Structure 1
Amino acid sequence: MQTDTLPTLKTERLILRPWRDADIEPFAALNADLVVMEHFPAIQTRAETETAMARIRQEMAKHGFGWWAVEVPGVAPFIGFIGLWAPNFDAPFTSVQDPIVEIGWRLAKEHWGKGYATEGARECLRFGFQDLGLREIVSFTTTTNTPSQKVMQRLGMTHDPADDFDHPKVARGHRLERHVLYRMRRDNWAVRADLAG
């Protein structure tokens, strides 16, 4: 899929778009911010950010979805990313037959508290269920990341403690190893969408 044919999603305040070369500078700053990366094992170097951005663009070109760059028209050309991703690790919830797709976000701290993550994620859920035909979308984060968990709850995702897991890409015994898992099924999303509409 060519970059110019990738979907762009729009909400009342946001544009979720394919990445541009100019996004690398603010993306590198985002990934080097200790506050933003508090719930990750480490900040990212500029080289790691370049590698990550290249992979994001490749995955979006391949699948037609991924981590969209987020723009706030009239405010900022890039504030981070929100989107859908296929986890590339083994965990109990990834061992089912259906493709597993997660929803996630990472925004610059100066744009926290404005509802952007929830607003953009709602549009990504719509795209995932309506356009991609997904039956379920999950989200996960560390047990300590209560702000992201609150976003998941605002989206209407549900949490069963039996689904919580130790992230295989985090070192054993690390304070961030344990993760919580939230789920949203298409039929539950459709009911919420009908009620909201």
Structure 2
Amino acid sequence: MRTFLESPRLRLRRFTEADLDLLVGLDNDPEVMRYLNGGRPVPRETLRTRSLPRLLHIHPCTGEPGFWAAEERSTGAWLGWFEFRPVDDDGGGEVVELGYRLHKAAWGRGYATEGSRALIRKGFTELGVRRVTANTMAVNAGSRRVMEKAGLRYLRTYFQDWPEAIDGSEQGEVEYVLTYEDWSTGPEVRRLG
């Protein structure tokens, strides 16, 4: 299986159809899904026909998928996934959306920050990315902290219509961003220089 990226503790690889059972386990954990759908279970058939094709989709502008299965390098354990996909296929992949969904057992161990930083570095140094954006519910403090640790800065709070409101949705969504210019002059890059 082709590895897209390795960091000290993580391996990111392409999804395969054989990953369906892993997705079922992840997307049926109420705590994992709390800020996505209020913690409701996601039917296996929905994951097979809607979610998995989205995770497998190859973006024409990059020739790569935008979602990566995350494994622990030392054990091979599946931790969840990372998103680093073009916002607009016509835009050439210069603006990407960063996201992550990890098993609860992986929370608080720095995996989300490590994977996010590694993707950002690869995006800015190898993939021609100029801007990274990330979004979450305003009340999702854990995800917001990961975005900040990865170097993204708060841009705005916005409100959208949800088919079904979930706890905290009344406080809106937040968007964080990081540009190549800000990243390339930031303290992390200077330390590695």
1:180 equivalent in structure 2: 174
| Aligned partners of 2:94 and 2:128 also within 8 Å | no
2:33 equivalent in structure 1: 37
CA shift, 1:60, in A, is: 5.4
- Unmatched runs of 5 consecutive residues or more in structure 2: none
- Unmatched runs of 5 consecutive residues or more in structure 1: 89-95
Residues 65-122 of structure 1, C-alpha deviations (whole Å, 9 max, x = no match): 411000113334311001312458xxxxxxx9x9642100000001111100000111
Matches of 1:76 and 1:182, distance apart in 2: 31
- What does 1:153-172 align with in structure 2 at a 5 Å threshold? 153-160=148-155, 163-168=156-161, 170-171=162-163
CA shift, 1:49, in A, is: 1.5
Q: Is 1:12 aligned to residue 8 of structure 2?
A: yes
Aligned CA RMSD, in angstroms, stands at 2.6
CA shift, 1:176, in A, is: 2.2
CA shift, 1:196, in A, is: 2.9
1:57 equivalent in structure 2: 56
Q: Which has the higher strand share?
A: 2
SS in 2 for 1:39: helix
Q: Is 1:73 aligned to residue 69 of structure 2?
A: no
| Aligned partners of 2:85 and 2:97 also within 8 Å | yes
For 1:77, give the aligned amino acid: A
For 2:159, give the aligned amino acid: D
| Structure 2 CA distance for partners of 1:11 and 1:104, relative to 1, 3 Å | same
| Equivalent pairs, count | 183
| Aligned partners of 2:95 and 2:130 also within 8 Å | no
